[in-house]
């Protein structure tokens, strides 16, 4: 029987660090860190995530400005909003929720965000710095995955890590972070043959596909560490990619959904807001 990696507990220490920082700002009479969130349309997943971010920010003394636009918003309106936020010295970070509607050029809109305020590491400039190993904002979800693995006490050097999913937001940047830890990394996707066989060689198995029930015990080597990044709403309940009840029997460590990666991701985002504040103000 594997042990559950408690993301909520891990996030707590980072939250204490953030609260100490904002309390000092308030006691010194300074403004607190502030980020702007831009959501287009009524995507339930984006709204759920933003609600969690705002709830945590409220407790930790960080401000979030919520900018909502209808599905039919024009590209010019989004351009104007981002330009205004880039120029607002009281806004330290900008969160642009993706995907955008098909009539919007997402690459163009993303490129408009100032690299100094790009707390999600979406711009080409920050991506380039990140993949070259230079100082940049670290993508929040991949960073959270690494923090959770480290919490298990595992020495990642030389371990076989298999990632299910190759998205620009999670899968690809996760490859970079794991390579920095000297893991041997395999990336699987919808065209991968004998998927369960490939996964069964993993010391670390990370699933970020958004396909509930994909990962069963057949995917696992005995004693593997399993990180479930999936968050899909099924009958009103947030569900991961992993069949938890099966997989925990073979895993050494496993993250639950919710209470795993998501709990740490929100905190990593707020840390990035604070880091942007430090660069902006100091």
Q: Are residues 208 and 155 in the same domain?
A: yes
User: Are residues 78 and 42 part of one domain?
Assistant: yes
For residue 165, say whether it is annotated as part of any ligand binding site.
yes
**Does residue 181 sit in the same domain as residue 82?**
no
The verdict on residue 129 lying in a domain is no
Question: Which residue among 117, 132, 149 closes a domain?
Answer: 117
Same domain for 111 and 154, yes or no, is no
**Count, residues in the chain:** 282
Question: What pLDDT does 234 receive?
Answer: 85
pTM for this entry: 0.90
- Residue 76 is part of which domain span? 30-117
User: Looking at the structure, do residues 100 and 41 belong to the same domain, yes or no?
Assistant: yes
pLDDT grade, residue 140 (50/70/90)? Answer: very high
- 281 vs 212 pLDDT, higher one: 212
Do 67 and 167 sit in the same domain of this protein? Answer: no
Tell me whether residue 231 is annotated as binding: yes
Q: Strand 3-4 to strand 253-254: parallel, antiparallel, or no bridges (unpaired)?
A: parallel
Q: At 257, phi and psi to the nearest 5?
A: -135, 120
Tens digit of each residue's pLDDT (9 = 90 or more) over 174-226: 999 999 999 999 999 999 999 999 999 999 999 999 999 999 999 999 999 99
170/103 same-domain check: no
CB 18 within 8 A of CB 62: yes
On whether both 182 and 220 belong to a single domain, the answer is: yes
Task: Indicate the number of domains in the chain.
Answer: 2
Per-residue pLDDT tens digits for 141-177: 999 999 999 999 999 999 999 999 999 899 999 999 9
- Asked whether residue 181 falls in the same domain as residue 258, the answer is yes
CATH of the domain at 96: 3.40.50.10860
Q: Is residue 277 part of a domain?
A: no
- Cα separation, 58 vs 64, in Å, equals 8
What single DSSP character describes residue 80?
H
Q: Would the annotation count 167 as a binding residue?
A: yes
Return the CATH number at 251. Answer: 3.40.50.720
Confidence (pLDDT) at 166: 96
Q: How many other CB atoms sit within 10 Å of the CB of residue 229?
A: 30
Residues 218 and 105 in one domain: no
pLDDT band at 282 (very low <50, low <70, confident <90, very high): low
Q: Are residues 43 and 112 in the same domain?
A: yes
Q: pLDDT tens digit string along 216-254?
A: 999 999 999 999 999 887 888 889 999 999 999 999 999
Specify if 46 maps to a domain: yes
Does any domain span residue 196?
yes
Q: What percent of the chain has pLDDT over 70?
A: 100
Residue 195 lies in a domain: yes
Q: What is the DSSP letter of 229?
A: -
Mean pLDDT of the chain, nearest integer = 95
The answer on 155 and 107 residing in a single domain is no
Asked if residue 107 is part of any domain, the answer here is yes
Distance of alpha carbon 132 from alpha carbon 249, whole angstroms? 39
Residues 196, 168 contacting (CB under 8 angstroms): no
Q: For residue 107, with 0-12 CB atoms within 10 Å meaning exposed, 13-18 middle and 19 or more buried, which class applies? A: exposed
Does some domain include residue 273?
Answer: no
Last residue of a domain, one of 117, 150, 182: 117
């Amino acid at each position: 029987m594997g042990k559950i990696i408690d993301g909520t507990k891990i996030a707590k220490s980072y939250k204490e660090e953030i609260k100490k920082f904002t309390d000092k700002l308030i006691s010194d009479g300074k403004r607190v860190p502030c980020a702007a969130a831009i959501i287009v349309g009524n995507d339930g997943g984006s709204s759920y995530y933003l609600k969690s971010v705002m709830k945590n920010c409220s407790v930790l003394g960080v401000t979030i400005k919520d900018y909502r636009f209808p599905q039919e918003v024009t590209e010019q309106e989004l351009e104007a909003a981002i330009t205004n936020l880039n120029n607002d010295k009281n806004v330290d970070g900008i969160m642009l929720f993706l995907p955008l509607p098909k009539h919007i050029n997402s690459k163009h809109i993303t490129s408009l965000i100032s690299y100094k305020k790009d707390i999600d590491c979406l711009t080409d400039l920050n991506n380039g710095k990140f993949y070259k190993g230079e100082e940049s904002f670290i993508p929040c979800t991949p960073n959270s995955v690494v923090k959770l693995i480290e919490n298990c006490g595992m020495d990642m050097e030389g371990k076989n890590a298999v990632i299910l999913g190759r998205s620009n937001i999670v899968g690809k940047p996760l490859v970079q972070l794991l390579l920095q830890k000297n893991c041997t990394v395999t990336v699987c996707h919808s065209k991968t043959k004998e998927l369960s066989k490939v996964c069964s060689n993993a010391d670390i198995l990370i699933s970020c596909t958004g396909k509930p029930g994909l990962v069963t015990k057949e995917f696992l080597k005995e004693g593997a560490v399993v990180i479930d990044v999936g968050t899909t709403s099924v009958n009103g309940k947030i569900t991961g990619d992993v069949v938890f009840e099966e997989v925990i029997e073979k895993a050494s460590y496993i993250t639950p959904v919710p209470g795993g990666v998501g709990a740490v991701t929100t905190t990593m985002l707020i840390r990035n807001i604070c880091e942007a504040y430090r660069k902006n103000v100091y």
